[in-house]
């Protein structure tokens, strides 16, 4: 598998492997068709056949190097007892529940059991997916999960979450710790079921003030990686911390792959982390508009020549992205050898 070789720094081919964050989703007509069979998004995520179908759609259409299992980071709060639903034109909503209760009850929640349908979907998908393609598992990271759990999906500036963390220090740190264990359990379930690598999404990392990043972001991350590596020492782990790429220097001792968002300076991150594999950085808005797309792609490829790199966006693909722009991106990448 080309992408797994690159994750493992085995060889650097001229054309980097490519996949896109949120590659299965609403910019694809074939996704919308399957989606229309379900009223409830979480129910969709828990239906293995439908999950396998939409996971494979972007691979069938674009021949990408990796499929990412179709699910959502919010399945963890949902199985912990905080009901999650999605409102049209709004996004995720989470029930108004006591997080103290969630913490108490979490002892009885065994991720391998409560999310066994995700494991099943991974097994199905892996058995159909061609052997040269990787299947990726994923989870949200504890802080990002807590931003949704605390604000119930209503936050716009994270002040409520930061205030909770400050006023309720003990509960907050117990929640972070509990979630670190559940996230590790989920990643282990994904790997056990056939995922070839996993990605940890810390999408709201940038909302954490710098002096709190060790406590809120990096200590939980270290715990997760420790637990996963005890079970699977060699599985590639990608960490995507949106908005904090310059802080990766503080976790450069970890042998993981770093996801780079579109606002980070890729050349600077490469100089800062000369021994790490990097992934990402193409702006989803550039892909959406198509403006200067070719130039943006060449510039990323130029910076990353001779460095192990996985081509990807800096964040999830926008739902209004024209398919022709994705095709153009892949054409430039594959045909226009730099």
The reply to whether 26 belongs to the active site is yes
CB of 309 to ligand CP3, least distance (A): 19
With CB under 6 A as the contact rule, the residue among 37, 40, 63, 91 that binds ligand CP3 is: 91
Which residue's CB is nearer to ligand CP3, number 69 or number 99? Answer: 69
Instruction: Supply the minimum distance, in Å, between the C-beta of residue 258 and ligand CP3.
Output: 15
Instruction: Kindly state the helix (H) or strand (E) to which residue 203 belongs, with its residue range.
Output: none
Please classify residue 160 by burial: count the beta carbons closer than 10 Å to its beta carbon, then call 0-12 exposed, 13-18 middle and 19+ buried.
middle
222 classed as catalytic: no
Contact, 140 vs 203, CB < 8 A?
Answer: yes
74 binds ligand CP3 (CB under 6 A): yes
- DSSP 3-state helix, strand, coil percentages of the chain (rounded to 5)? 55, 10, 35
Q: Is the separation of the CB atoms in 115 and 189 below 8 Å?
A: yes
* 100 within 8 A of 175, measured Cβ to Cβ: no
Site for ligand CP3 in 258-317 (CB under 6 A): 315-316
61 makes contact with ligand CP3 (CB under 6 A): no
Tokens encoding 71: 């699910």
Say whether residue 35 binds ligand CP3 (CB under 6 A). yes
Residue pair 97/82 in contact by the 8 Å Cβ criterion: yes
- Regarding 86 and contact with ligand CP3 (CB under 6 A), the answer is yes
- Contact pick of 52, 139, 203, 279 for ligand CP3 (by CB under 6 A): 203
* Angle, helix 169-193 to helix 116-128, in steps of 10 degrees: 30
For the segment 128-187, give every residue that binds ligand CP3 (CB under 6 A): 138
The catalytic position among 27, 31, 126, 148 is: 148
Toward ligand CP3, which CB reaches closer, 223 or 242? Answer: 242
73 binds ligand CP3 (CB under 6 A): yes
In the bound complex, what is the minimum distance in angstroms from residue 179's beta carbon to ligand CP3?
A: 14
121 makes contact with ligand CP3 (CB under 6 A)? no
In sequence order, the β-bridge partners of residue 241 are: 202
At 51, which helix (H) or strand (E)?
helix 48-62
Q: What angle do CA 248, 254, 257 make, to 5 degrees?
A: 70
Q: What is the DSSP string of 21-43?
A: TT-SSTTSHHHHHHHTT-S-HHH
The reply to whether 26 sits near ligand CP3 by the rule CB under 6 A is: yes
Name the residues annotated as catalytic: 22, 26, 35, 72, 148
Binding site for ligand CP3 (CB under 6 A): 21-26, 35, 41, 68, 70-74, 86, 91-92, 138, 201, 203, 315-316
């Amino acid at each position: 598998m080309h992408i797994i070789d690159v994750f493992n720094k085995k060889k650097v081919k001229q054309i980097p492997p490519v996949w896109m964050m949120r590659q299965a989703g609403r910019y694809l007509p074939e996704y919308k068709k399957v989606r229309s069979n379900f009223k409830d998004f979480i129910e969709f995520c828990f239906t293995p056949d439908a999950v396998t179908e939409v996971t494979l759609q972007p691979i069938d259409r674009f021949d990408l190097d990796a499929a990412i299992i179709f699910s959502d980071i919010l399945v963890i709060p949902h199985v912990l007892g905080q009901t999650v639903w999605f409102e049209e034109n709004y996004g995720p909503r989470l029930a108004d529940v006591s997080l103290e209760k969630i913490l108490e009850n979490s002892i009885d929640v065994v991720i391998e059991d409560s999310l066994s349908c995700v494991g099943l979907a991974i097994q199905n998908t892996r058995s159909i997916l061609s052997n040269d393609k990787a299947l990726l598992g994923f989870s949200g990271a504890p802080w990002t999960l807590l931003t949704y759990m605390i604000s119930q999906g209503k936050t716009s500036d994270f002040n409520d979450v930061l205030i909770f963390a400050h006023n309720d220090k003990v509960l907050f740190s117990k929640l972070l710790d509990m979630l670190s264990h559940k996230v590790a359990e989920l990643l282990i379930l994904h790997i056990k079921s056939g995922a070839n690598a996993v990605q940890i999404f810390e999408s709201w990392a940038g909302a954490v003030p710098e002096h709190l990043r060790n406590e809120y972001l990096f200590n939980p991350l270290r715990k997760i990686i420790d637990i996963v590596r005890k079970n699977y020492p060699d599985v590639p782990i990608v960490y995507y911390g949106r908005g904090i790429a310059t802080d990766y220097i503080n976790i450069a001792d970890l042998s993981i792959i770093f996801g780079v968002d579109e606002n980070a300076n890729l050349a600077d991150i490469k100089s800062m982390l000369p021994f790490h594999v990097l992934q990402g950085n193409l702006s989803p808005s550039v892909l959406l508009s198509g403006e200067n797309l070719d130039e943006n792609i060449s510039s990323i490829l130029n910076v990353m020549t001779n460095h192990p790199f996985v081509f990807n966006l800096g964040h999830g693909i926008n739902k209004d992205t024209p398919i022709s722009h994705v095709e153009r991106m892949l054409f430039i990448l594959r045909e226009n050898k730099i």
